[in-house]
Chains A and B, each alone.
Chain A
Amino acid sequence: MKRGKYKASTKPQKGAAKNEYLPRAVEITKIRDLSSDVKHYTLKFKDGKPFEYKPGQFVQVSIFGVGEAPISITSTHERGDDLEIAIRRVGSLTNAIHTLKEGDELFIRGPYGNSFPWEAGKGKDILFIAGGIGLLPLRSVMNAVFHHRKDYGKIWILYGAKSPQECVYADELARWGKLDNVEVLQTVDSPTAEWKGGVGVVTTLFEKIEFDPEKTISYLCGPPIMIKFTNITLEEKKMQPDNIITTMEMHMKCGIGKCGHCLVGHKYCCTDGPVFTFAELKALGAEE
């Protein structure tokens, strides 16, 4: 019998291992409400040291004694933004974070994960499609693209939410909509009397736009059911799975490819993702 041998795919690291589990303290400098259950936080590192990140990366956010969870970065380092995250109240940690006030403390480690390949889309048209709080992680790449506006062609933003009250970043969507060659289309499931956008699921907005699948890159984020139907529509419109880019949400405990909770097929969402093309997800058998 041939002897079994374990061989890691990457070279052993030299020197002492850094303690990646040890987070840094941040101060919450600003809080604003994005919807009834989503708050936006601006953060400042207490140690004053720099924190560099790319659009699409995430951080592990914790309150000691409550727990830790992965949260998307919604700001754009490229523009010199302060670190910003947006958090929906959904579990014990996020509920605890929602009780914090400006000046309070959080702990952050990261940034982790790959990033949106936003520079590869230069010269192309960009189609952003977001459902609900799927707009939060996409905001980082949107701002990167708008920061380099002249490098891109036409930009569409299709945004669907349950109701007008659930729409996040309404002010920014309105501002982006006024830019040249940018079209922002919104839809909700349950409209109010004042609602001016569409009614129905986000795929209904495809009837209102025309794009060239050959020269368009699509960024997509939202709940699983929305991702599924949007992908079907994009494929019907002859968009190549390589050009449909999404970011996944999974349960994560470590963020560094160790704890095993975020496996998507054999890939770790935390280190191999969270950004995947639809072609990659298909190969992993995880396109839904």
Chain B
Amino acid sequence: MKNLKVKTQNLVKLLDALKDASNLLAPQTDKYGDTYFQQVVDASQVVLKHFKPLMPAVREVLFGQLEDMITFKDTASGTKIKPVKAAKDTILFGLPNCDLDGILYNDEFFAKREFADFYYVNARKKLTIITLACLTPPNENCFCASMGHGPFAEKGFDLQLTDMGDGFFLVNIGSKKGQKIVDDNSSLFEAAGEADLSKWKELKQQAEESTTKKDVNKKKALDNMGRTPLKEQMIIEISDRCISCGACNYTCPTCTCFNVIDHKKDKAGTRKRVLDSCILGGYFRMAGGHNPKEAKEDRTRNRYFCKLLWDKEKLGDSGCVGCGRCLDACPVKVDIKDVIKQLSN
């Protein structure tokens, strides 16, 4: 990994150049005080501090909450249909590593299995990822290091930035796309020395320690998920508390389920896909009313087995990246970290 550094004011200049060349999405704070990814108009407004957006970054461009798929129009000779064109070149700036690993999960799920997803693949090709390493946990629910997913990125990014606290950001280059950004704006960057690098390693270690929960043992927990009878008792307890709102699914960076709906007005319309949640009562219901997972307990089992057991069998790792968003969003405070903790023994 080749390392450079960039001065804070030069980073703003870089963002200013990037916003003109591409669709640049970066964290900005709105007038209500909420920070989330927005299109950059004024680079000086970009928040340069690590943050955990409420909605995972994968929802911004790759697999949105609501996405157009096909437009259609009734004509005298039948319905004419047209696939919706892929999104334009986009740079996503300032995402944390849990979101990057969420995107890597989605890459495996949508792009690398049988029947690659047309819309995902096309949007992904046009995406550049610049992550901002978390120096401290954005909130108390973060446990990415325990799940092996952060807080610093090791692969999958185009550029990774780390705030060194001395007016500089250390820059890791992770891909050809990242290299090109650096080459195109080479006057803004300078070489990072040995001292920078050892300081960076120190920050990385501190950050890892702050997001490691001592009582969580991922390997043991995932192994136990496959065999311990304890999990059945846990599923029942979770489902007793769960109010089936679906917030855990909607905010999860590795939830991939969707529904397909048609919106039609007069003679034309759009087929869209919308994020769906397996916790919702009607998720498995078929036309005619039969519902194979009518009991909340069965849907709870589906969610936890999917996340902590089946994903590992299917894609090589658990779907939980330890971002803690499901707990951030849960109105009754169902805690996946606590589930993993209980399974760790």
Contacts and interface: CB of A to CB of B under 8 A. Distances in A.
A263 B81 CA distance: 30
Contacts of B119: 21
Contact of A6 (B105, B122, B257, B261): B105
A283 interface: no
A209 interface: no
Interface in B229-277: 256-262, 264, 269, 271, 273, 276
A7 interface: yes
Interface stretch (A117-125, A157-165, A183-191, A249-257): A249-257
A71 B107 CA distance: 29
B321 interface: yes
Nearest to A20: B115
Nearest to A224: B290
B287 A90 contact: yes
B321 A256 contact: no
A261 B259 CA distance: 8
Contacts of A9: 113, 314-316
Contacts of A254: 258, 260
Contacts of A271: 114-115
B318 to A, nearest CB: 7
How large, as a class, is the contact surface on chain B?
Answer: 35 or more
A174 interface: no
Given A6-B315, A65-B262, A17 B212 contact: no
Contacts of A199: none
Contacts of B4: none
A183 B104 CA distance: 56
Contacts of B18: none
A86 to B, nearest CB: 15
A23 B271 CA distance: 12
A91 B113 contact: no
Contacts of A25: 78-79
Contact of B306 (A17, A68, A263): A263
A79 interface: no
Contacts of A91: 287-288
Contacts, number: 170
A10 B112 contact: yes
Interface in B290-345: 290, 292, 302, 305-306, 309-310, 313-318, 321
Nearest to B79: A64
Contacts of B112: 8, 10-13
A65 to B, nearest CB: 4
Contacts of B221: none
A193 interface: no
B262 A64 contact: yes
Nearest to B290: A224
B149 interface: yes
Contact of B81 (A10, A11, A107, A249): A107
Contacts of B283: 251, 261
Interface in A13-34: 13, 16-23, 25
Nearest to B313: A266
A178 interface: no
Contacts of B145: 1
A182 B276 CA distance: 47
B81 A22 contact: yes
A257 B148 contact: no
A258 B117 contact: yes
A80 interface: no
Nearest to A263: B302
A31 to B, nearest CB: 17
Interface string A63-76: 01111110000000
A12 B110 CA distance: 10
Max chain B CB contacts within 10 Å: which of A5, A22, A105, A286? A5
B286 A258 contact: no
A22 B70 contact: yes
A232 interface: no
Contact of A250 (B260, B278, B284): B284
Contact of A261 (B109, B208, B276): B276
A220 B122 CA distance: 41
Nearest to B258: A259
**Which has the most chain B C-beta neighbours within 10 Å: A23, A25, A64?**
A64
Instruction: Kindly list the 5 A-B residue pairs having the minimum CB-CB distance in the complex, ordered from nearest.
Output: A91-B287, A260-B257, A7-B316, A65-B264, A4-B148
30 contacts: A1-B145, A1-B208, A5-B317, A9-B113, A17-B111, A22-B81, A22-B83, A22-B118, A25-B78, A25-B79, A64-B70, A64-B74, A64-B81, A64-B264, A64-B269, A65-B72, A65-B74, A68-B260, A90-B287, A107-B81, A251-B285, A254-B258, A256-B115, A257-B114, A257-B115, A260-B278, A261-B283, A266-B305, A266-B310, A271-B114
Interface of A: 1-13, 16-23, 25, 46, 64-69, 90-94, 105, 107, 224, 249-251, 253-254, 256-261, 263, 266, 271, 286
